[in-house]
Chain A
Amino acid sequence: MKKVFVTGMGVISAIGNNSEDNLTHLRNGDTGIGKTNYLESNYAQTHLFGEVKMSTSSLKENLKMTQKGLTRTDLLAFTALEEAIKASGLTPNEISSEKTAFISASTIGGMCLTEQLYNDAYSNSDTTEYAESYTGNAHALRIAEVYKLSGVVDVINTACSSSLNAIMMGARLIKSGRANRAIVGGSDALGKFTINGFNALQILSKAPCKPFDEERVGLTLGEGAAYLILESEDVIGEKKRCAEISGFGNSNDAFHPSSISDEAFGVVAAMTKALKSASLKPQDIDYINAHGTATGNNDSSELYGIKKTFENFPPFNSTKSYTGHTLAAAGVIETAFSVLSIQNQELYPSLNFEKPIQPFNQTPIISYQSQQKINFAMTNSFGFAGNCSSLIIGKPQ
């Protein structure tokens, strides 16, 4: 099996339009959750969100894109992708090689255009501009066309764990030798569809989310995109290796359509499989970027699962306290943050934490910590329909 390294990444989230800005906010403990400027929803008046600090039209102008039918999800994806490609120095030939895979993820796709979709669905629209923009794969199809991709193109939707599964799929294609490079990630914009969905489930918080706090009241929705460039040891040459993809696990909790079992069966199975695939012991993990949505159900089940898998809790945080829950983009944005922790050997504070959840009595990382020894970091993502995934990245040796 080939070794797989991250050689570049691009991130756009509520805490910055590129990796550097995201890093600054993480180091300063500076959240991106707040009042929205662009979101069209009644909830914009009552709730706070992790909105990307650019309008849809300025995202488009920045990219110098003129195509019709582009949605915010598409534009977030293109923005993060452009940065990732630049960071890794991939050439156009490398990008369009048959041995380069592109694996992405989105849940809302073009459904962020709620009214337009409604009109198109009822044949009431005076334009056909967006007719092919709604599906979860619309952004990937555009990227395949613009970047002339000729390798495997895939889009995964396992709800909130989508992009972690996209990273896995890309890494597995490289490990098997079917690809020697993979561009992996995901994109989701804020939209009425998901906001109302989570509100209907009564897990949408008005105030900024409080991951791992005893008095947490629900999640804050966010938006964003991130892509990682994965390269096989065979083609990487002298390039900078930001991190190695060490292991991964995927499991289904098989308990409930929209919540995790108290015994965290799927969570434990995903983390255990990830450790096994990385040939690591629990004590080898120096940091966990937890799923930590700040819903009553997730955080206590996740703590239960970590306790069961690790016995002693490694340092952990939830960076959703900065970005909000970015759904299909969450896994890859949070893996990108884990890469930053590994590259800089530092840990970022989890925000809004006051009181530990009982009976676990665990406090996440609450202050910025430099000069840490972080050889291996785990990222967790769990989604509706029981989809649990866990990924381990390592400091390149």
Chain B
Amino acid sequence: MYILSHTCISPQTTYSGSFLDGKVIEYLGNKYYTIEPDYTDVIPRSLMRRMGKATRIGIGAGMPLIKKHENIDGIILGTATGGLRACVIFLDQILQYDEGTLTPTNFIQSTPNAVAGSLALMSNNMGYNNTHTNLGLSFEATLLDAILLLEENEVKELLVGAVEETSEYNYNIDESAGFFKKTEVQSSQLLKSNTEGSVRGEGAAMFVVSNSKENALCEIVDVIQFSFPQKKNIEERTLSFLEKNNTKLDEIDALVLGFNGDSRYDFWYDNLADHFKDTTIFSYKNLIGDFPTANAFAVWLSCIVFEGKNIPEEAYYRKSVKEIKTILIYNHYNNKQHSFVLLRLP
């Protein structure tokens, strides 16, 4: 499966492109919010007003790609929670009005498939349409779904991507589950913080994928995911995953790792990095924070690397002189859900 185009709305200026001029935004504390673009040309004002953030950034990232590629055959998105803010607003109403007469707008917006549905509606796309919601593996399932669909030879081009919004409510819930840092830390120091918990980010990254390598930026060779692995499983599965894809360890030129500064769980990345002595390592959660579908940003970053764009220093965890033709992405969410994505130049 080949990537033809991409967009990204994130806590960095990834949409406008000034991120690539080395202008990295520093964050202090636990919440990294998206820098939203001007949606004037993408979303009619009348619709904008009623949209939650997940829908807004999802459409803001997705519609320009749909407009650019006129023959999109289907839309597949991953999101852990979709419009969670709308969901809690509706919950508020239920309790505040004691289940009285309510307006349905927030209920409709709260369903995670609203983003893929809105994109289909706005572009009159009646093709395959699906939304994966397996928390930290939602985006990976999206890639797998697209790989299958392209293999089945029914379609040629698909819009795939991920979207996540932060609301104070899911922040509070995740905070009580011990997800976040207890003391404020600068984003530049996040990966060295050596304390428990991480920081929360949000964003949308979208891709047009095709089964043809014509005009492709890179190839997504394969994706694999597993839940609750043991330490030794990761080693075994790294090797078998690469072997299955006819790739040797020393053919991996760069790793994109999901370091999030959580002293409890970053060891997974160190363990993997030990097997790759001479590779560049990129990190990204120090730029955009952590969230269930953050891995879509790792794929976006890989695209930028393959395109030979200027990557901000802050994204380099370790630098090597090796030319980058093959990238392995490894990520886990909350220690439980792990994944690999293998990419290479076409």
Contact = CB atoms under 8 A, between A and B. Distances in A.
B113 A383 contact: yes
Contact of B169 (A41, A42, A121, A140): A121
B131 A252 contact: no
26 contacts: A118-B91, A118-B95, A121-B88, A123-B175, A131-B173, A135-B135, A141-B135, A150-B227, A152-B144, A155-B135, A157-B111, A158-B131, A176-B152, A178-B148, A192-B99, A193-B91, A197-B108, A199-B99, A200-B107, A201-B104, A252-B126, A256-B121, A257-B118, A258-B104, A385-B113, A385-B116
B80 A156 contact: no
A384 B113 CA distance: 8
By size class, the interface of chain A is 35 or more
Given A252-B127, A254-B125, A136 B113 contact: no
Contacts of B112: 136, 157
Interface string B253-273: 000000000000000000000
Given A141-B337, A156-B133, A257-B118, 8 more contacts: A117-B173, A121-B172, A155-B132, A157-B113, A176-B152, A193-B90, A250-B129, A385-B113
Interface residues of B, number: 68
Interface of A: 41-43, 107, 111, 114-115, 117-118, 120-123, 125, 128, 131-132, 134-137, 140-141, 144-145, 148-159, 165, 169, 172-173, 176, 178, 192-193, 195-197, 199-201, 250-258, 265-266, 269, 383-387
A255 B125 CA distance: 10
Contacts of B111: 107, 157, 159, 384-385
Interface in B129-185: 129-135, 137-138, 141, 144-145, 148, 151-152, 169-170, 172-178
A148 B230 CA distance: 11
A134 B135 CA distance: 11
A254 B120 contact: yes
B120 A196 contact: no
B176 A114 contact: no
Contacts of B82: 157
B225 interface: yes
Given A156-B130, A196-B94, A197-B90, A385 B117 contact: yes
Nearest to B292: A135
A256 to B, nearest CB: 7
Given A118-B92, A122-B172, A250-B128, A154 B134 contact: yes
Contacts of B114: 257, 384-385
A65 to B, nearest CB: 17
A150 B81 CA distance: 24
B117 A172 contact: no
B102 A200 contact: yes
Contacts of A131: 173-174, 176-177
Contacts of B87: 111, 193
Contacts of A254: 120-121, 123-126
